[in-house]
Each structure stands twice: as structure tokens, then as C-alpha cells.
Amino acid sequence: MAKATTAVPAKEKSEQDGAKRSGTRWVYLFSELDAARAAVGGKWDDVRALLGGKGANLAEMTRIGLPVPPGFTITTRACNAYLEANQTFPEGMWEQVLKAVRDIEAQTGKQFGNPSNPLLFSVRSGAKFSMPGMMDTVLNLGMNDAVAEGMIALTGDPRFVYDAYRRFVQMFGSVVMSIEDEAFEDYLSATKKRRSVSSDTELSAEDWQKVTAEFKLIYRKHVGEEFPTDPYAQLSKAIEAVFKSWNGKRAVDYRNAANIPHNLGTAVNVQMMVFGNMGNDSGTGVAFTRNPSTGERKLFGDYLMNAQGEDVVAGIRTPKPISELEKENPAVYKQFIEVAQKLEQHYRDMQDVEFTIERGKLYMLQTRDGKRTARAAVRIAVEMAEEGLIKREEAVLRVSPDQVLQLLHPQFDPEAKRDAVRSGKRIATGVNASPGAAVGVVAFDADLAEKWGKAKKSVIMVRPETKPDDVHGMLASKGILTSRGGATSHAAVVARQFGVPCVCGAEALEIDLRARLMRVGDIVVHEGDTISIDGTTGEVFVGELKREVPDFMRETYLQTLLSWADQFRRLNVYANADYPQDARRAREYGARGIGLCRTEHMFFQEERLPIMQAAILAKPNSPEERAELDKLEVFQYDDFYGILKAMDGLPVIIRLLDPPLHEFLPDHEQLALRAAGLRLMGDRPKELERVEALMSAVEAMREFNPMIGLRGCRLGITRPAFSEMQARALFRAACQLTKEGYDVHPEIMIAVTSTAEEVRELRQLIERVAAEVMRAMNCAVNYKIGTMIELPRAAITAHKMAEYSEFFSFGTNDLTQTTFGISRDDAEGKFLLDYVERGLLPRNPFQQLDEEGVGFLIELAVERGRKTRPDLEIGICGEHGGDPASIAFCHRANLDYVSCSPFRVPVARLAAAQAALKEAGHSAKDD
């Protein structure tokens, strides 16, 4: 039975009886890591799933002898059981908690609820995957009036005691009982104003005693009952609050954004309190073993003396850089450096650690793999591999494809920044908390930021400091700006994880949330005004600054990482490119060929479009048609010459004309208006005749369903002169380059095929033209002819298609449309995104390949096509070629290559390598 004390009534339950009633182990001491391992079969990943990342790491730090305050973990299984049982503790859990409290009392010599030697607890969440600030924490639990008096007698420091007491009342009220934090903060601000002080540290013991009393009155007003004095009731309610916070809005929003499953649950860590607010020889801080913004191998972090942990991470006070601790307390700093290095070597990754100094003694409260920017992730992975701490395979797996994409996001043009500084548009500087350039309209609260973000506005969320409840607005914003807080504040940590540019602690900003504006001297920025922030340098500008694409070749760490990735991947990575400059950029980014060159884009250029229109209007197979196509051939030759030359030595897949011809003609309504005007004026009969001819042609070519109408191979067969012109231009360019010493590998792709006979027809045309050109130019060029598979029938009959095709390329955009029977442009605007939100579809199939339907057709076509032609080359060239999950599918489906936009080539190179490494059994932390 729980021991009773004179001050606090104990729970009249028997932990022994409870343990007998339930055979499930719900609670583990930090010192019982081996028991937890045995319960899940010994794998560390399973231990993290059971104890949460924080609990597992606290137990591991305890095991290796680091100074960790004792405590215990309530498992994630208990959380899930609680939520499934209509918010009721599972049988036996509370009794196990009571026993764990007794064990901690025995370890510390203190007693929970005993005023003469009180034991206080922190109660914190801890899921398998780190979710910083997204769930609930309560500190100083176990305080009541009697305990406060006992602590004063023990410490002789009433100021410290009532500072801790008021913090507990506020946290318990806001976290456990859902009282708005402003109810407490407003009174605290009024107290500081009345006492003419600006900092919490300037308030006296008497001030904190009055604040504590007032906080309890605020609690009674909002809750309707007195503040609880029974420490066990406090503990029970705090555990429930942490369990419930797993399904809180901010936690759910965060998991959605981070792709964390919703069924994991959170553990609860109950740990003996140590105090950083016991005077100037005490303090608290957060640090990273390497710089989380740049990746530099140097300790990085913040701390505050005479403070508790939330003061640092909440941004309420602007902290000091960790390097200054060496001056304030050299012995503690030296010990902390040794602990930080030991943790990084032990976990083989950059660590994010929390610590407290209590009267000169260091305690470690947490370690976890640190959140980092894209640039830092790449540098840390590469340097750790070069240091021998991890293998190259692990390095490649530790950087996500999304981080590579973030690294290539636009930055501010240097000249534009210099002009802005000279003209006085730089209004503030702060901590460069998360790199990148962001431009957007100012929103002063998270709800508005989310509303505007969903309306496709670019938003910069501006707050004095952010709180976990702001996460939905942060995720919807292009950038985050705060006037308080440092590089380890909540805003900074969340921004870095999701690649959102962030500037924190821009103290020059006077933010007036009620008036919905901010001031810097005479400059006033209203809500809805545009600002620019540079998270790399910490600068804030009024107005919009010009941005530019970063220089990929200068990203030396990324170049190294991708060179390793290229050694591990099986899939080739090609690029979709229509012009020579695109091809050159693709090659620079590491593309090993062009997987799709869309020739129709070339005809929309201003000097070519009138010629194309004249060719369309000409009678098929007439001298007029041939004359116009001869003009176009000159341009096509130059196009093909440039792109084949840029890809010297690599394959280039050129798709013959694909869209319906009416797309090259003006809109019928615009032509009608033009004709009406000409008739009214009556002075330009030839122009009127031309416009009317265009109207007739547009009307004749109008289709009800142009996406599945006269396009692709159907157009090539009905208007063969267009296909002949393109083939002739291509082979002339290829022959000329061959004569000049270039190594060209043209591959011609036939689009929108549904029968093998269509492929055969156009193959014969292409082979005839190729033979004519090569004979005329006395030159031989190796080439391939292949089929674009974008219709279900083509996939189903792939064994026949392969008879006339040396390669297949899946046009997954159209294949998705024709498999689902929907038009992407219509569906995304009308119902598709709603389907995803309602769970009718797991995701947008145009962004991530639908493996169940479209994927089935791809696998079927691969199997059937290679039965006919074992050496058949197969790839995809739709947008899915740059999506990491779709690339993993392509690897599993045994495709030869993926093709994507040039800017996504680095992403695809990494994703392809990761797919191969995972298949081989590697992980980001190989044992």
C-alpha cells in the first residue's frame, strides 16, 4: 500500500495486488533497460517504439553512466490502451506507477509529498519519433503549500521555491486543465510592470508568492474548483494529460507533416526534478553536438542561468550562446563537452541534448538525434562518413530526398540584397535559425497563416515567439519571424525540421498583436504587407526581394554524397528536357540521359507558331504543307543538334509530336471577336479571310475529349508528313554530329499507342526516313525506336508492343488519368484533394504513383514486354520520376531508369540509391 504522509493523503491501493491482476508490464525504471529490451526481443528500434525515443535514450544514458536524474517510463502501449478504453488507465498501470515512485524514493532518499524532504517530478511526453514541443510537459509536480514551506526550510531560498511553485500552477492549469496561457501571462506582465522590472529574474520572493496565490485564484475561476494539493492526484492528471496530447491538434498536424503514423502513441517519462532556477550557480540549456544549421563540427546551443528549461525553448528570454558557459563555469562546461562528445560517439549521430545545472552540478535530461537543416544534414552525413563514425551507405540513407530538394531552393540575389540594404529596406536582424529565402505577406497568428496558406498565398508568420499550438500556421507558412527566442527555440527547431526559412530573436521588431502591425522605428508593417526574410543570414526586409537558383556545382558536400549514391543505385536517372540549355543543366545535375524531349514545346515559340499554323491549315500531303514543314525542319534540326550535342555520349529520347493540332491554333472565341472587328472596319479583307480560315480550321478540329482524341501516333499516321519532317531533322542532326566526332544516341518514342499495329506503321516510316538521310549523308547512326505506354490497353498488350519496340517509357501522368478515368486538371480542382482528405484515396495519385492500379499495369507490361524482348529497356518519364516513393516502386518493378525534371535529378539519384540500399538490408543506422 502507498505510504501515507502527514501532509498528503496517499492512494489506498496495493501495487502488489494490481500487478497480480494484470500480467502486462506498463512501467519501466530508467535503470531497467535490459528488461525492456527483453520484452520486445532486443531490437533498439522496438525499444524506442515501447519506451518512446526520450525514454529509451534516458535509459541508455543511465546505462552508460551519465548523470541522469532517476525516473521511470510509462510505455506507449499504456497510452494506446488508455485511448482505446475511453480514456481509462489500463488495469495494473497505476499500481505499477506507485511502485515506481517508491523505487525512485529509495534511490534518492526523498519522498513524494513529504514536506520535510520532498521529491518533485517532471512529467514529459516521448513518442518513438521526436515531436519537439508537440505534446505536453508538466514541471515541479508535487508542489503544494506544505511542500513549499518544507522546501524553504531546506533551501533557505523562498524566491526559488515560489518561482518553482508558480511555474507548476501555470503549467498544470494550461497543460492539464486547458486554461489559456494568456490568463497567467497577463497577470505576470502586469506584476512586472507594477514593479518596474523587465525580467522574471528581477522579481522578489514576495512577488512570486503573490503571483502563486493569484495563479491559484485564476485556476479556481476557470476550473471551478481549488487547485489540487494531493501530489498523487496531480500525477494521475498529468499522466492523463500527456496521453491525451497524443491526439491534440498540434500533434496531429505535426505527424501529418512529418509522415509519422498516428497509431504509435506516446510514452510518459516521470523524472526527479532538478532545478536550474536555484540561483546564479544554476541554469539550464539546450545544445547540439554540431551546428544544426550549417553542420559545422562545433558545439552549438543556448543556455540561461537561474532558469528552467521552458525559458530557453519557449523563447521567453533571449538566451546566451553555449560558448559563454565556459567563462561562467569552466568545470561544468568541460564536463558538458565530454558528455556531448561521448553521446555523439555512442549514438553515431548529431545529438540534441537538454541539461540542467543545479548548484554547480550537471544533469543530463534528454538526448535525441538532432533536427537539422538540409545543408547541415548533408554535411554531417558526409563528414561523419569521412571521420569513420558511419559507413557511406548510412550517410546516403541519412539524408532525405526532400532535404536535397530544400538545398536547391531559391536564395536571394546578392545584388538585390545589397540594393535593399543601401535603400534602407533592411529593417531588422536576428538569429539565422533556419536557412533559405522566403517572401510573403505578414500574418500575425497561426490560424490566419493557415487560412491564407490554404488559399495559395505565400505567408510569413510573425509572432513575438511561437508556441507548440502555432504549428499548423508554421507548416502553412513560407517563412517564420519572431522577435524573441534563439537558435534552439521552438520556432527554430520546427522550422529546421520542415525546411522553412526562419529568423528568431529580431528584437528591433515591436509587434503589436492587437493592432495587427509591427514597428521598427518609423517603419510600420501591417498585416497583409509583403516582407522578405533570409533565414541563412538572419536579415528581415520590407517588400519583395529577387531570388535566384543556387549554384549546384558549389554544393561540394552534396556532390560528394551523390557521388556515393551513384555507386549504390541500380536505376539510371534521366531528365525531361526540351531545349539544349535544359539538357546542359540536367547533365550538370547528374542526369545520365534525356528520358523525354517533348518536341511540341518547340513549335510554340513566337517565330515558329505562324509557320506551324500554316502547316496545319494546309491540305494534307500537299505542296503547301511540305513547304511549311520544310521551314519548320530548319528549326527542328537546330533543336535536335543542340540537345544531342549537349548530351554527347548519352541517350536522348525524343517523343514525336503528341498534342492535338488545335492546341497550336488560336481560341475560337477570340478569333470570332477578331473577325467581327475586321468586318466592322471593312478595310482589311485579306486579314479577315485569314482569320475566317483559321476559325473554320479550329472548328473542324474541335474535339469533345481531346486528351483521348487525334493526337500522338494517331496524328502521325493521319498526317505522316509531320512525323517525316521530325525524323528527317533528327537524323540529319545526328549524322552531322557524328561526322564532327560526337557520340550520339538518339531514341525515337511514339506516343499514345494502343495497338502494336500503330507502332509498326510509324516504325516503318521512321526506318525509311533514317535510311534515306544516312544514305544521303554517307553516315551510320545507331538509334532505337520505342513506345510510350500511357494507355491501359498498351500495358495489357505489351508483349505485342515489344515486337516493334526496343524500349518502353511509361507516361505515368496520362496512364494515371486513363486508369482512373479522370482528367487531372478537372479532378484536382473539383474533388480529388477532397477525396484524399476524406480518406477515399490514400494520396494524390498524380503526385505519388498508385501502386495498386497503375503500378499493377506497369508490372504487367514489364513482365509481358520482356518475355517478348528480354533486353527491352524500360523507364518512366512522368512527374512520378522525381517522386521518391514512386522511384522506390520503379526499383522494385525492375525498371532501368526514371526520368524527371532537371531540378529533381539530384533527388532521384539519392532516392534510387536509397531504394537499392534498403533492398539490400541497409539502414540509416546499421548495427
Most trustworthy range by pLDDT among 398-407, 752-761, 832-841, 902-911: 752-761
Please write down the long-range contacts of 84-89, taking CB distance under 8 Å and 24 or more positions apart: 87/240, 87/243, 87/244, 89/239, 89/240
Contact between residue 713 and residue 762 where contact means Cβ atoms under 8 Å apart: yes
Q: Compute the average pLDDT of residues 727-735.
A: 98
pLDDT band at 3 (very low <50, low <70, confident <90, very high): very low
Quote the distance between the C-alpha of residue 331 and its chain's center. 40
C-alpha to C-alpha distance for 485 and 512, rounded to whole angstroms: 17
Q: Residues 570-620: pLDDT tens digits?
A: 999 999 998 898 899 899 999 999 999 988 878 877 788 889 888 888 889
3-state secondary structure of 27: strand
Catalytic residues: 490, 877
Q: Which three cell numbers stand for residue 269?
A: 517519462
Strand-pair partners of 750 = 787
pLDDT at position 20, please? Answer: 43
Could you tell me which residues come within 8 angstroms of residue 856 by beta carbon, excluding any fewer than 6 positions away? none
* Whether the predicted pLDDT of 276 surpasses 50: yes
- Residue 486: pLDDT band with limits 50, 70, 90: confident
* 542-562 confidence digits (pLDDT tens): 999 998 877 888 899 999 999
Query: How large is the average pLDDT for residues 674-703?
Result: 85
Backbone angles phi, psi at 876, to 5 degrees: -125, 150
Residues making up the chain, counted from first to last? 927
pLDDT at 132: 75
**Of 493 and 248, more confident:** 248
- Is 60 exceeded by the pLDDT of residue 842? yes
Q: Is the pLDDT of residue 312 over 50?
A: yes
Q: What angle do CA 603, 604, 606 make, to 5 degrees?
A: 105
Question: What does the alpha-carbon distance between residue 576 and residue 466 come to, in Å, rounded to a whole number?
Answer: 41
Pairing, β 300-305 against β 320-321 = antiparallel
d(CA 314, CA 177): 20
In three state form, how does the secondary structure of 158-195 look? HHHHHHHHHHHHHHHHHHHCCCCHHHHHHHHHHHHHHC
Q: Where are the beta strands (DSSP E) in 715-783?
A: 745-750
Residue listed under C-alpha cell 549504390: 568
C-alpha cell at 83: 485511448
C-alpha cell at 696: 473554320
- What percent helix, strand, coil does the chain show, rounded to 5? 50, 15, 30
- pLDDT at res. 131: 84
Query: Cα–Cα distances in Å, from 320 out to 60, 289, 315, 685?
Result: 29, 17, 12, 80
What local confidence, expressed as pLDDT, does residue 880 receive?
93
Give the CA dihedral 609, 610, 615, 618, nearest 10 degrees: 150
| Cross-strand bridge partners of residue 533 | 438, 540
- What is the arithmetic mean of pLDDT over 179-206? 89
* Alpha-carbon span 217 to 575, nearest angstrom: 66
Higher-confidence position of 481 and 927: 481
pLDDT band at 311 (very low <50, low <70, confident <90, very high): low
Instruction: Compute the CA torsion angle 58, 64, 65, 66 (nearest 10 deg).
Output: -50
Cα–Cα distances (Å) from 269 to 47, 175, 273, in that order, read 14, 16, 12
pLDDT of 511 strictly over 90: yes
Average pLDDT, integer, range 558-568: 97
Interval 121-128 mean pLDDT = 94
- What is the per-residue pLDDT for 314? 60
The rounded distance, in Å, linking the Cα atoms of 199 and 743 is 72
Distance CA 561, CA 135 (A): 35
pLDDT at 2 over 50: no
Q: In this predicted model, which residue has the larger pLDDT, 586 or 9?
A: 586
**What residues are paired with 429 via a beta bridge?**
539
Q: At residue 660, does pLDDT exceed 60? A: yes
pLDDT in tens, 340-375: 999 999 999 999 999 999 889 999 999 999 988 888
Cβ within 8 Å of residue 291, ≥6 positions away? 298, 300, 376
787, 753 contact by CB (below 8 A): yes
Instruction: Identify the pLDDT of residue 309.
Output: 65
Report d(CA 576, CA 598) in Å as an integer.
8
Q: How far apart are CA 705 and CA 479, in angstroms?
A: 42
Tens digit of pLDDT for each residue in 784-804?
999 999 999 999 999 999 999
Cell of 306: 537561474
Name the burial class of residue 927, with classes exposed (0-12), middle (13-18) and buried (19+) by CB atoms within 10 angstroms of its CB: exposed
* DSSP per-residue letters across 132-168: TTSS-EEEEET--HHHHHHHHHHHS-HHHHHHHHHHH
Q: Identify the H or E element spanning 680.
A: helix 668-681
Report the relative pairing of strands 502-504 and 479-482 from DSSP bridges: parallel
Nearest to 468 by CA among 354, 318, 314, 316: 314
For 387, residues 6+ apart whose C-beta sits below 8 A from its C-beta are none
Q: What are phi and psi of 112, to 5 degrees?
A: -65, 115
Please tell me the predicted confidence (pLDDT) of residue 13: 41
Residues with Cβ within 8 Å of residue 607, at least 6 apart in sequence: none
| Per-residue pLDDT tens over the stretch 65-110 | 999 999 999 999 999 999 999 999 999 999 999 999 999 999 999 9
Q: Mean of the per-residue pLDDT values for the chain? A: 90
CA atoms of 548 and 533, how far apart (whole Å): 14
| pLDDT, position 12 | 38
Give me the sheet containing 283-288, strands edge to edge: 320-321, 300-305, 283-288, 351-358, 361-369
Q: Give the number of other CB atoms < 10 A from CB of residue 40.
A: 16
For range 898-921, the mean pLDDT: 94
Cβ neighbours of residue 727 closer than 8 Å, sequence gap 6 or more: 656, 748, 765, 766, 769, 770
Q: Which amino acid is at 728?
A: R
Confidence band (pLDDT; 50, 70, 90) for 14?
Answer: very low
Q: Would you say 552 and 569 are in contact if contact means Cβ atoms under 8 Å apart?
A: no
Nearest to 404 by CA among 915, 909, 922, 889: 909
pLDDT at residue 743 tops 50: yes
| C-alpha cell belonging to residue 420 | 535593399
Q: Quick one: cell of 717?
A: 499516321
879-901: b (≥16 Cβ within 10 Å) or e: bbbbbbebbbbbbebebbbbbbb
- The Cα 114–Cα 180 span in angstroms is 31
What is the arithmetic mean of pLDDT over 235-261? 91
Q: Give DSSP secondary structure letters for 425-477.
A: -EEEE-EEEE-SEEEEEEESSHHHHHHHHHTT--EEEEESS--GGGHHHHHH-
Question: How far, in Å, are 178, 179, 315, 867 from residue 309 at the CA level?
Answer: 21, 21, 10, 65
